[in-house]
């Protein structure tokens, strides 16, 4: 990499750069969540290196660059026009010289910064105005080198299959990379920033959707009553059937916050959250499941984190309990075992309604959750990715931790368990619309498939199909390979049925009521 120039900000931080950035804008950006900045979309890099789909299929928020935004997360760095915090550049060891092409060096740097190292690469429109549009030319050797160094060997083999087994140059590139490189398991990580104290005393609404778990909900309400920065309001939407609930359990007088209780008449966790959102008054909304425990600094750390990084949404650290009787003492033990692995921030790559915090104005901009996901799975990821697609830098927050108890009974998945049944015993799910499932059960989950169709291109959905069946055939035990091969036609019918429901949901469009 050619020599990078230095720019010292008003705060004294050193920014390394190449190209001709707008220094006034760079000064502002240095105060925000980003660590790496570029303007590559208009310089030929938008959606560059589409072959990444061979590894990630459709399970990476940032596979595609987002449209019509002035600023958003993007790992597609232009090596000839970018800026980076000097501390980040040195921690990540700069560009990798194993690649022949500087374009691939920059893409590898941005990708690993985002996906593995907890750094935040941002596209910023017109930060680099004068950079020319480039032609992206990634040679096969660099492509396979990237796959070998970053992923398991099976992904390189799958790329060989998709690029054409008959292409000798692909074989040469594959064997070259396999001979010279190995997967790098240890990646450097960026340390989180020290959290600033809360300013301006913002208000917080906490949302709890619950169903047939009143005992767990009371436990969570008690945790919220002892927060160091208490919520202003807790909105509780309870879908427990009338004949199974105790309406006297929730006593608003017992809590130091306003407790708003609504008995849900509709079905679905997405509808429950949307009904709660309509009642929220706080500057921030914290989303939580009913079966979690939270320490006293939980809400305080969410607000401090968002204010420190100057962003509007974050996803907290969700720790799975060994059993439903564990408590906050067990959480401390689990965190101690995690050690330094806990402290990774960066751009979120998943979203959990069990533990997340979002500015209410952004939640309102999305108009809440998409109820097409009710009865299935994938609503969390859809909500988080939808925030990213409107330009929100959604971060992972390791400071706000919950213990997820996951009791075997109760919860909104009670309705979703019907999806596993077929025939007369089955109760129809919301996503079935006017076409009830009969004997052929759609697999994968139609709502997961809906999320894929909603956020990715038709070509990428096709690649997901190839990857789905490739893994089905080759990831299982060798002794049952012939059985799986014979089952392929039936699995194809199930996949097509799932896609059928997903397309019907797409035709309806996003719904919030």
What's the CA gap between 220 and 197, in Å, rounded?
Answer: 25
Tell me what pLDDT residue 510 has: 94
- The tokens describing 440, both together, are 């052929």
**Ramachandran bin of 433, using left for φ above 0, alpha for ψ from -120 to 50, beta for the remaining angles:** left
| Residues 7, 82 contacting (CB under 8 angstroms) | no
248 alpha-carbon distance from chain centroid = 38
What's the CA gap between 479 and 45, in Å, rounded?
Answer: 45
What's the CA gap between 348 and 397, in Å, rounded?
Answer: 8
Per-residue buried b or exposed e for 371-381, using 16+ beta carbons within 10 Å of the residue's own CB: bbbbbbbbbbb
Q: What is the largest CA-CA distance in the chain?
A: 75
415 alpha-carbon distance from chain centroid = 25
Q: For residue 444, say if its preceding peptide bond is cis, omega within 30 degrees of 0.
A: yes
What's the CA gap between 71 and 37, in Å, rounded?
Answer: 10
Token pair 């009338």 in the structure block, residue? 242
- The candidate with the shortest Cα–Cα distance to 510, out of 459, 464, 461, 447, is 447
What's the CA gap between 503 and 62, in Å, rounded?
Answer: 23
Tell me what pLDDT residue 307 has: 98
What's the CA gap between 504 and 312, in Å, rounded?
Answer: 33
What's the CA gap between 395 and 388, in Å, rounded?
Answer: 10
DSSP 429-496: PGGGTTS---SS--SS-HHHHHHHHHHS-HHHHHHHHHHHHHHHHHSS-GGGHHHHHHHHHHHHHHHH
- The tokens describing 342, both together, are 């806990």
Tell me what pLDDT residue 423 has: 65
Burial of 186 (0-12, 13-18, 19+ CB in 10 A): exposed
The secondary structure of 60-89, three-state, reads CCCCCCCCCCCEEECCCCCCCCEEEEHHHH
Which regions of 301-425 does DSSP assign to beta strands (E)? 313-320, 355-359, 394-404
What secondary structure letter does DSSP report for 347? B
- The candidate with the shortest Cα–Cα distance to 334, out of 284, 300, 293, is 293
- The tokens describing 455, both together, are 């956020």
Token pair 């009371």 in the structure block, residue? 218
Structural domains present in the chain: 5-180 (no CATH), 204-404 (3.90.550.10), 421-508 (no CATH)
Tell me what pLDDT residue 414 has: 60
Which helix (H) or strand (E) covers residue 361, if one does?
A: helix 360-366
- The candidate with the shortest Cα–Cα distance to 244, out of 74, 84, 414, 88, is 414
CA atoms within 13 A on the CB side of 452: 27
Contacts for 230 with CB less than 8 Å, ≥ 6 apart: 204, 224, 256, 257, 299
What's the CA gap between 214 and 331, in Å, rounded?
Answer: 22
**Three-state SS at 499:** helix
| Residues 420, 443 contacting (CB under 8 angstroms) | no
Tell me what pLDDT residue 460 has: 97
- The candidate with the shortest Cα–Cα distance to 340, out of 298, 401, 301, 398, is 398
pLDDT by residue, tens only, the chain of 513 residues? 568 999 999 999 999 999 999 999 999 999 999 999 999 999 999 999 999 999 999 999 999 999 999 999 999 999 999 999 999 999 999 999 999 999 999 999 999 999 999 999 999 999 998 778 899 999 999 999 999 999 999 999 999 999 988 899 999 999 999 999 999 888 999 999 999 999 999 999 999 999 989 999 999 999 999 999 999 999 999 999 888 888 889 988 899 999 999 999 888 889 999 999 999 999 999 999 999 999 999 999 999 999 999 999 999 999 999 999 999 999 999 999 999 999 999 999 999 999 999 999 999 999 999 999 998 889 999 999 999 999 999 999 999 999 999 887 766 666 556 556 666 667 788 899 999 998 899 999 999 999 999 999 999 999 999 999 999 998 889 899 999 999 999 999 999 999 999 999 999 999 988
Tell me what pLDDT residue 165 has: 83
| Residues 33, 309 contacting (CB under 8 angstroms) | yes
């Amino acid at each position: 990499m050619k020599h990078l120039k230095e720019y010292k900000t008003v705060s004294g931080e050193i920014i390394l750069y190449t190209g001709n950035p707008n220094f006034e804008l760079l000064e502002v950006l240095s105060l925000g969540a980003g660590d790496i900045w570029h303007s590559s979309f208009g310089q030929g890099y938008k959606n560059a290196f589409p072959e990444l789909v061979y590894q990630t299929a459709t399970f990476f928020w940032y596979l595609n660059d987002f449209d019509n935004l002035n600023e958003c997360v993007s790992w597609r760095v232009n090596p000839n026009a970018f800026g980076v915090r000097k501390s980040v550049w040195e921690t990540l060891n700069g560009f990798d010289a194993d690649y022949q092409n500087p374009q691939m060096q920059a893409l590898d740097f941005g990708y690993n910064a985002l996906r593995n190292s907890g750094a935040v690469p941002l596209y910023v429109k017109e930060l680099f105005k004068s950079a020319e549009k480039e032609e992206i030319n990634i040679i096969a050797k660099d492509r396979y080198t990237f796959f070998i160094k970053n992923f398991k060997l099976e992904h390189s083999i799958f790329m060989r299959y998709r690029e054409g087994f008959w292409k000798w140059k692909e074989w040469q590139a594959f064997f070259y990379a396999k001979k010279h490189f190995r997967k790098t398991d240890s990646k450097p990580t960026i340390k989180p920033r020290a959290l600033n104290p809360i300013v301006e005393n913002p208000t917080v609404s906490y949302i709890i959707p619950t169903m047939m778990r009143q005992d767990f909900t009371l436990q969570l309400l008690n945790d919220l009553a002892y927060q160091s920065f208490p919520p202003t309001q807790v909105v509780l939407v309870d879908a427990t059937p009338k004949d199974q609930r105790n309406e006297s359990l929730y006593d608003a007088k017992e809590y130091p916050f306003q407790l708003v209780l609504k008995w849900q008449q509709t079905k679905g966790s997405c509808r429950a959250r949307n009904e709660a959102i309509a009642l929220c008054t706080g500057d921030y909304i914290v989303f939580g499941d009913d079966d979690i425990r939270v320490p006293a600094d939980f809400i305080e750390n969410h607000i401090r984190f968002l204010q420190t990084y100057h962003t509007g949404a974050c996803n907290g650290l969700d720790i799975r309990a060994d059993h439903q009787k564990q408590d906050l003492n067990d959480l401390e033990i689990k965190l101690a075992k995690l050690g330094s692995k806990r402290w990774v921030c960066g751009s979120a790559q998943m979203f959990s309604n069990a533990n997340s915090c979002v500015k209410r104005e952004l939640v309102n901009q999305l108009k809440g959750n998409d109820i097409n996901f009710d009865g299935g799975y994938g609503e969390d990821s859809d909500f988080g990715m939808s925030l990213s697609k409107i330009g929100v830098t959604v971060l992972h927050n390791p400071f706000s931790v919950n213990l997820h108890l996951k009791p075997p009974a109760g919860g909104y998945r009670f309705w979703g368990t019907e999806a596993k049944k077929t025939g007369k015993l089955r109760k129809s799910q919301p996503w079935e619309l006017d076409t009830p499932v009969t004997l052929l059960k759609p697999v994968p989950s139609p709502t997961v498939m809906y999320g894929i169709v909603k956020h990715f291109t038709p070509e990428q959905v096709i690649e997901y199909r190839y990857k789905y069946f490739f893994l089905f055939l080759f990831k299982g035990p060798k002794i049952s390979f012939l059985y799986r091969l014979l089952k392929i036609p039936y699995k194809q019918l199930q996949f097509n049925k799932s896609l059928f429901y997903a397309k019907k949901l797409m035709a309806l469009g996003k719904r919030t009521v």
